[in-house]
Structure 1
Amino acid sequence: MIKCLVALSIGLTLALSSVIEAAPPSSFNAAKRIAEREIYHDQSETFYCGCTFDFEHGPDLDSCGYEVRKQPARANRIEWEHVMPAYDFGRQRQCWQQGGRDNCRRTDPVFQMMEADLHNLVPAIGEVNGDRSNMRFAMVNSPAHEYGACDAAVSFEERAFQPPANRRGDIARTYWYMRDTYGIQISRQQQQLFTAWAAQDPVDSWELERNRRIAAIQGNGNPHVSDEELPPAPELVTPSSVLENLPSAPSALTGFSCETRKTCGQMSSCEEAYYHLLQCGNGRLDGDNDGVPCEAICR
């Protein structure tokens, strides 16, 4: 009888501990530790290139025929990639306008939550993560720097990154999750691309399992991955509350179009420049990554 009570007590303690721990990570650093220990502990393939890896020794580049483009040290380590870059979700916050990423980390709880969201984090070869940076996802046209047998390409001329076919749906569903959870704007062109990618690359078994693991830890699943019953996320902000914190400049963005990719010299106003930066994803307009496009007209 005593043994049964002890066993029951231990079981209840463990269950209570798991409930208490089911909360969003408190920071990006905390999210990386949780992802390594509780989500990817039994997974051994990098996101873009499919190289086998372990977190201590890095990727086995020979396992996927990876060829180092330029940075051997970074190519031999694993980094946590934000599928939607911090630049994309950060530049739409007022804190970014007032001091960039460091300021957002210090002062903005919503940015902290976005940066630490486990749904948006994947393990990648460091060199690929660095090359991709905050480039938009696209099908590249100009000659691209390849990584040997790794089916990913980056075009520095176009500032575009082309992921392998088996990751394109994952990327689309992650972007939709960030859009719907935090009110992040996605350009019409990107939306059309992601719709095609999601159809071409449907949800696989690991994407489903990853979603379940994150839901158990963080408290919410990605509905674009699965419509199964998963815990709600009352801690997460609503899109309307996020949009209240958008910088004031883009509020009058009407009458413009993403059909033509423009330079700063072709902009008729600061409002049009903001439209092309935020709605069309034209990162070239913000050369110093401070969230302000075409500073000659947007001072």
Structure 2
Amino acid sequence: MTRFILALLAFFVCFSLSAEEFTRFSTAKRHLIKTLPSNAKSIYCGCDIKKQGKKLVPDPTNCGYVPRNTHTRSGNVNARALRIEWEHIVPAWEFGHQLQCWQDGGRKNCRKVSAKFRKMEADINNLAPAIGEINADRSNYRFGMLSESATQYGRCEVKVNFKQRVIEPPFYARKQIADAYAYMQKTYGLKISNKQQQLFNAWQQQAYAAQTNTKKL
């Protein structure tokens, strides 16, 4: 329980809404690497993050992350399991599909012709550090609850169901995810389903209850 509470509080400390604005995803990522708090954790596994020059790498020592695939299909080392990437909590596919530019030519076209898309893609309030393998596995899957056990990535508590195209994040990451969706709705008019809205409302309420209980200890 103590480890859970500390992990939860760490996420509240490390990830908060920022007024910084960017118009290029690459610029936003450089800013985030430069300003990353020393106590930051990867969003889906809660791993410590180390800087190696201009790159970020996960430290699996305490979080227990084990790659689902140590090698690619071609036999090469799975490099994405060894690096931190910046995950769009609301996937670019999800908010991009709600813009005409995506219908006319996908992400590449949106970057070229839509100032709104560029701003959404570079909004650091929708970005979180994630282990590259899990960022890839998440793809543009929706968030949800799954019945299976979390065994795909060692002791990392995230679950991905590739058949259902659903990802279930660990408890301590859910408020950040729900808050990011709420922010994107308010700021850019993002539309989400009633089912997703109910899920995110529940996650925010659960996080509030956990905070309240922690204060009573």
Q: Which amino acid aligns with 1:191?
A: Q
**1:29 — aligned with what?**
26
**How far apart in 2 are the matches of 1:204 and 1:144?**
21
The total of aligned residue pairs comes to 183
Per the alignment, in what secondary structure is the counterpart of residue 46 of structure 2? coil
Which of 1 and 2 has greater Rg?
Answer: 1
- Residue 202 (structure 1) shift: 3.0
Q: Deviations over 1:129-149 (max 9, x none)?
A: 000010000002467762111
Q: Deviations over 1:222-245 (max 9, x none)?
A: xxxxxxxxxxxxxxxxxxxxxxxx
Q: Which amino acid aligns with 1:69?
A: R
Unaligned runs of 5+ in 1: 1-21, 206-299
The answer as to whether partners of 2:126 and 2:180 remain within 8 angstroms in 1 is yes
In structure 2, the CA distance between the partners of 1:176 and 1:35, relative to structure 1 (3 Å rule), is same
**1:202 — aligned with what?**
208
**1:66 — aligned with what?**
65
Q: Deviations over 1:176-228 (max 9, x none)?
A: 110111011010000000110011113999xxxxxxxxxxxxxxxxxxxxxxx
Per the alignment, in what secondary structure is the counterpart of residue 189 of structure 1? helix
**2:48 — aligned with what?**
52
The answer as to whether partners of 1:140 and 1:158 remain within 8 angstroms in 2 is no
Per the alignment, in what secondary structure is the counterpart of residue 159 of structure 2? strand
**1:79 — aligned with what?**
85
The answer as to whether partners of 1:78 and 1:126 remain within 8 angstroms in 2 is yes
**How far apart in 1 are the matches of 2:210 and 2:122?**
24
- Residue 82 (structure 1) shift: 0.4
Per the alignment, in what secondary structure is the counterpart of residue 202 of structure 2? helix
Structure 1 outlier segments of 4+, above 6 Å: none
**1:12 — aligned with what?**
none
In structure 2, the CA distance between the partners of 1:42 and 1:75, relative to structure 1 (3 Å rule), is same
Q: Deviations over 1:29-57 (max 9, x none)?
A: 0000111212x142331111011122325
**How far apart in 1 are the matches of 2:49 and 2:149?**
29
Structure 1 window deviating more from structure 2 (29-38 vs 111-120): it is 29-38
The answer as to whether partners of 1:77 and 1:126 remain within 8 angstroms in 2 is yes
Q: Which amino acid aligns with 1:44?
A: A
- The equivalences for 1:222-233 within 5 A come to none
What's the RMSD between the two structures over aligned residues? 2.0
- Residue 157 (structure 1) shift: 1.0
The answer as to whether partners of 2:45 and 2:156 remain within 8 angstroms in 1 is yes
The answer as to whether partners of 1:55 and 1:78 remain within 8 angstroms in 2 is no
User: Among 77, 98, 105, which residue is 1:99 paired with?
Assistant: 105
Which one has more relative contact order, counting CA pairs under 8 Å at least 6 apart? 2
Identity of aligned residues (%): 48
**1:277 — aligned with what?**
none
**1:42 — aligned with what?**
38
- The equivalences for 1:236-247 within 5 A come to none
In structure 2, the CA distance between the partners of 1:87 and 1:61, relative to structure 1 (3 Å rule), is same
- Residue 62 (structure 1) shift: 2.7
Per the alignment, in what secondary structure is the counterpart of residue 116 of structure 2? helix
The answer as to whether partners of 1:68 and 1:147 remain within 8 angstroms in 2 is yes
Q: Which amino acid aligns with 2:31?
A: I
The answer as to whether partners of 1:168 and 1:197 remain within 8 angstroms in 2 is yes
- The equivalences for 1:1-299 within 5 A come to 24-38=21-35, 40-56=36-52, 58-71=57-70, 72-141=78-147, 146-202=152-208
Per the alignment, in what secondary structure is the counterpart of residue 66 of structure 1? coil
Q: Which amino acid aligns with 1:80?
A: W
